[in-house]
Structure 1
Amino acid sequence: MPKRVSWREIAVDVDAAEGEAVVARLKSFDIDKSQTMGCSICPGADHKMSYRLLECSSETCKGASPVKCAWRGKMVTCLDSEHVSIFEFGEHSSETASPGRKKLSLAQKAFCRDLAQNHIRPMRIRHALSRKFATPLEDLPPLKMVQNFVNHYGRTQMENHDRLQELTAWIREHAYNGSETMTEPFTFAWEMDNAGLPIVGNGSDQKPFLVGITTKALMLRLMVLPESFILHLDGTYKTNQLDYPVMVVVVSDRSRRFHLVAVFVMSQETQPMFQAALLALRRLYFWISKQHLTVHYAMADDDKAQRNVLAVVFGDNPHFRFLISGAE
């Protein structure tokens, strides 16, 4: 049987702020192991806690002895209450304090989460931290630490899939297959592989990124008399929050009410991209309704590429009219 470790208590069942203060007083350490298991902090709990084993990484201990420092730490955090218990075992090779690593405080982490939810990039978040907390950039944790925190939060809490391989897998997993319910969201694109799954590109000039998102119920809003609606293209997005433009496709009825049909995320606002989006929309409508999409009236932003594409895709209909031609 493995030898039982006699852990010494440093802090037991303390709140997150006090736990952070305790950790700040420890010498430099690395996380050796990290896992999730049943919570032992809360009696009879059915939720989880994080369990982390720590090992000394202090430069003063490394310089004091050729043998690896014997100090070890253990930190368990309830994922429900965020209460922390911290333990230690063994002694440091040197009692001399080592320069502590710069870490994000609880308030800074909360601020990072708020900005991450608005899709602000880590570098801009770090500059915002400097302004928010009146702290020079050189006194803040390094950019890599902010990147790791924001990216981990995005992947685990926001379902951000900003890595190409993960993003492509997510899009293909949610691609239209015909079995979706009326309100179940799915993805679609113009280019397809041999398996009938979307080819979305990587965002480069050679392989631009394009994906559409909608539901059957939204698409069937087009299943009305063509003279009773106007098709609108709206390239609306905020450049300070999103990396890629978003094109919204809506229809307006005779009561001047607007109804969403689909949303496209694209890496370029060019005529080939707009054309691929509308061709994908038209094909998807046929798959769902078994009818060809006929458009009599269309409107778009003051964008020549959008106007040209609408004429190319729907101009074979002799009744097609572009109602507003921008500033011309």
Structure 2
Amino acid sequence: MPRTKITWVLLARYLSLYYSDMLLESLKDYVVSKSGLSPCSLCTEATPHNMRTRLLLCKCKACKTVAPDARCPWKGMVQTCTLSNVVSISEASQHISPFHPPRQARLTEEMKAFARAMCTYSHKPMSIYNGIIRRFQVSEAAMTKLATVQCFVQHYRCARIGGRDFLDDVEA
């Protein structure tokens, strides 16, 4: 069976990372299904370099409620130049449901940077959570869950700071 060609509709081209994040936040919930590198076709740099292409699939609860057995046909594509950090965003098809449910609260890049800075000073996740609420003047109802901050802090400590206890180090 031959594959049908996907017709991509360009939403935005040559966006900075900041504005592309804002545009992606305005979309319905999605999940990255594929991500890969390919030769860059976005910018005009003479040096050969790559761009990252991420394919997005809909995971919106409203679309799942309307058609529980069918997959939403909406697809998104985000292409990011690794050299100049220019972003192009496209989409294909429409969502099953036009209803746009409210998104769960997420940590913004500024909040993540603040949490990273507090991690370097060995603050506990609850202290970081309260610091984010005070610093960014977010109500607790609008703030992401404490478990999200705990997972972020734990991952950052293990991956970047070396917060793992290895058995040989503990016994010594």
Inter-partner Cα distance in structure 2 for 1:152 and 1:89: 34
CA shift for structure 1 position 20? 1.9
Q: Give the TM-score normalised by structure 1.
A: 0.44
Note the residue ranges of structure 1 that are not aligned, 5 or more in a row.
Answer: 169-197, 202-207, 211-328
- Aligned 1:100-179 pairs, distance under 5 A: 100-151=103-154, 153=156, 158=160, 160-164=161-165, 168=166
**Change in 2 beyond 3 A, CA 1:78/1:114:** farther
Cα-to-partner distance string for 1:83-126 (whole Å, 9 max, x where unaligned):
32221112101101112121222322332332233343443322
- Aligned 1:57-136 pairs, distance under 5 A: 57-66=59-68, 67-136=70-139
CA shift for structure 1 position 149? 4.1
- Aligned 1:219-238 pairs, distance under 5 A: none
**Change in 2 beyond 3 A, CA 1:125/1:50:** farther
Please report the RMSD computed on the Cα atoms of aligned residues, expressed in angstroms: 2.9
Answer whether contact 2:80 2:86 (CA < 8 A) is retained: yes
Greater C-alpha Rg: 1
Answer whether contact 2:33 2:54 (CA < 8 A) is retained: yes
Inter-partner Cα distance in structure 1 for 2:119 and 2:39: 29
Inter-partner Cα distance in structure 2 for 1:37 and 1:123: 41
- Aligned 1:200-215 pairs, distance under 5 A: 200-201=169-170, 208=171, 210=172
**Change in 2 beyond 3 A, CA 1:56/1:155:** same
**Change in 2 beyond 3 A, CA 1:118/1:4:** farther
CA shift for structure 1 position 22? 0.7
Q: Number of aligned pairs?
A: 169
Note the residue ranges of structure 2 that are not aligned, 5 or more in a row.
Answer: none
Identity %: 29
Inter-partner Cα distance in structure 1 for 2:111 and 2:129: 10
Decide which of 165, 168, 171 is 1:199's aligned counterpart: 168
Q: Give the TM-score normalised by structure 2.
A: 0.77
